[in-house]
Structure 1
Amino acid sequence: MDVFRALLLCVHFLTAVKASGERHSLSVSVPHRIYECPEGANVTMTCIQSGSKAYAEDRLFKTWLFTSHSQEHCHKGIHPRGSKDTNRSLGVEYNKGDKSFTISLQTIKHKDQGKYCCVLLDFHGKHKVEQDAHEFIYLTVVATSHLPNSSLKCSAWSHSSSDDSVAEGLAIAACVAFILCLPLILMLVYRQRQTVERHRRSHELVRMDSEAQAHENPVFLCDSPLPKTRTVSQIMRQSSETGRHLLSEPGTPLSPNIQGEMFFPAQDPIPESPNLLE
């Protein structure tokens, strides 16, 4: 039942991903993910629009947001250098084309370092957002003293939109692989539990059988050798606690005559002690 639920969840997940991709055809990509510029340089960062509007009468809204913390999301209303429109006195300029929109910064300073987000909104009517897409770019500002010959040129690292699709594909493949391997994992866990249960029952049977035979420690009895048996002659040859030999040991003066009586010799009567008569 758990396997069936997991498979059903995976099917719903794949269907939702497919439906989301079909519905949200509008997207944004960046040709360069990271820009590294020295202080005082000029830079232009670009975002590329792809896809189409949900309805022909919709209007597209393009803007740029900024945060100085690279690990945070861009917040609404916070624009680069505090201006959402072109402001040459602040050294910021926005350009919007049919398939791209850019931001240009003049005379970069260290406070310009951070995360720049390009946002694309598809408005249906006045306030309803039918589609939305966004991407981000990192800008790193380097002090000019760390650069050779005081170069003011920026460096950029390319980024392909296929990288994101590959990551999504790998995530989906990992999910499917886990679902397919789940029955095998459950079977291995079940067999392990069965093995432990059989061992426990075997020890229980050994303990019950040992208790029936009056053994105090059945575990050590199973591994230890059985006690050796001794003959009657071996037992009779043991030394007494006083250090004297038993009468039955051969070679003693009072050893019984094997050819005659079995106990004491008849030809040597034992004298009565006078102390016992008193």
Structure 2
Amino acid sequence: MDVFWALLLCVHFLTAVQASGDHPSLSVSVPHRTYECPEGANVTLTCVQSGSKAASEDKLWNTWLFTSHSKEHCHKGIHPRESGHTNRSVGVSYISGEKSFSIFLQTVNHKDQGKYCCLLLDFHGKHKVEQEAHEFIYLTVVPTNANTLNGSLKCLEWSHVPPDDSVAEGLAIAACVAFILCLPLILMLVYRQRQTVERHRRSHELVRMDSEAQAHENPVFLGDSPQPKPRTVSQIMRQSSETGRHLLSDPGTPLSPNIQGELLFFPSQDPIPESPNLLD
């Protein structure tokens, strides 16, 4: 039962940690997860803010990060087209709205394909970050064909999520941390449980040995003064009869009775003649 309660406590702890991380005050969402654009098209990637600042005097700051590998996390300082601000010379613009912020890419090419991360920070003062929220968008660039050259270059948008192991990795890490934190408690309870079982086993063993000792009259377990074994009347009479037969009933013994019924407890002796020397 102790182990069960320990595991239940760990599950509640993990649930509380997960719940606290699933409901932040400040969060970011994306209307479309995946964009597919032909080469030469223009695209605008948008993230939507929800929640509020920790304090009214805080300042919100947003930026975009980029990685060409969709399975990797975005790294700090790596921006789309190596520009962290609006730079029309490289065809990138940062746009901030009241509840959304976007990045505009002009004339996309194969180098623009990858994972775009929108980052929102809540600053208290100049350097203290109170809250942080982020999301990601995938951009796929496909070669142009005759149909796209004759018509307008348009991007396709989807809301489905390509395979990403970041959520699974986060849950696995959280589970490992919770298990490591609860492991000492679990081991202590298991040790106590084993000690209790061992004490019960020894108690039962001592009771069993004591019962066997009383049943077999083993002096080792009865102590220094073993109890005499009770005897029946027939055993006492048989022993007395056997003892009397050996001591008195054997023929020819000096103390045994005569066959004719005469009691001869002492042997008969002739009178001793008087010595003439003694009379003189």
TM-score (norm 2): 0.54
Question: What is the identity, as a one-letter code, of the residue corresponding to 1:13?
Answer: L
User: Which residue is equivalent to 2:71?
Assistant: 71
User: Which residue is equivalent to 1:18?
Assistant: 19
The CA deviation at 1:115 is: 0.5
User: Which residue is equivalent to 1:59?
Assistant: 59
Q: Does 1:50 align with 2:50?
A: yes
Deviation per residue, 1:10-35 (Å, 9 max, x gap): 1112222333455x210000000000
The CA deviation at 1:6 is: 1.3
Deviation per residue, 1:182-208 (Å, 9 max, x gap): xxxxxxxxxxxxxxxxxxxxxxxxxxx
Q: Distance in 1 between matches of 2:37 and 2:112?
A: 10
Q: Distance in 2 between matches of 1:125 and 1:31?
A: 31
Q: Distance in 1 between matches of 2:104 and 2:142?
A: 18
What stretches of structure 1 move > 6 A for 4+ residues in a row? Answer: none
User: Which residue is equivalent to 1:120?
Assistant: 120
Paired-residue identity, %: 64
The CA deviation at 1:149 is: 4.4
Unaligned runs of at least 5 residues, structure 1? 161-166, 176-278
- 1:63-212 map, 5 Å: 63-145=63-145, 148-150=147-149, 151=151, 152-158=153-159
Contact 1:31–1:159, Cα closer than 8 Å, also in 2: no
Structure number with larger C-alpha Rg: 2
Q: Distance in 1 between matches of 2:93 and 2:77?
A: 17
Change (3 A) 1:16 1:115: same
User: Which residue is equivalent to 2:274?
Assistant: none
Q: Distance in 2 between matches of 1:159 and 1:55?
A: 35
Change (3 A) 1:109 1:133: same
Change (3 A) 1:149 1:78: closer
- 1:212-223 map, 5 Å: none
Change (3 A) 1:21 1:124: farther
Contact 1:30–1:159, Cα closer than 8 Å, also in 2: no
Deviation per residue, 1:49-69 (Å, 9 max, x gap): 000001111111100000111
Match of 1:10, SS state, is: helix
Change (3 A) 1:4 1:159: same
Unaligned runs of at least 5 residues, structure 2? 162-166, 176-280
The CA deviation at 1:126 is: 1.6
Question: What is the identity, as a one-letter code, of the residue corresponding to 1:155?
Answer: L
Contact 1:54–1:130, Cα closer than 8 Å, also in 2: yes
The CA deviation at 1:44 is: 0.5
Q: Distance in 2 between matches of 1:131 and 1:124?
A: 9
The CA deviation at 1:127 is: 1.1
Q: Distance in 2 between matches of 1:19 and 1:138?
A: 27
User: Which residue is equivalent to 1:244?
Assistant: none
Q: Distance in 2 between matches of 1:149 and 1:65?
A: 29
Q: Distance in 1 between matches of 2:46 and 2:86?
A: 15
Q: Distance in 2 between matches of 1:36 and 1:95?
A: 21
User: Which residue is equivalent to 1:8?
Assistant: 9
TM-score (norm 1): 0.55
Contact 1:85–1:93, Cα closer than 8 Å, also in 2: yes
Q: Distance in 1 between matches of 2:95 and 2:49?
A: 13
Match of 2:33, SS state, is: strand
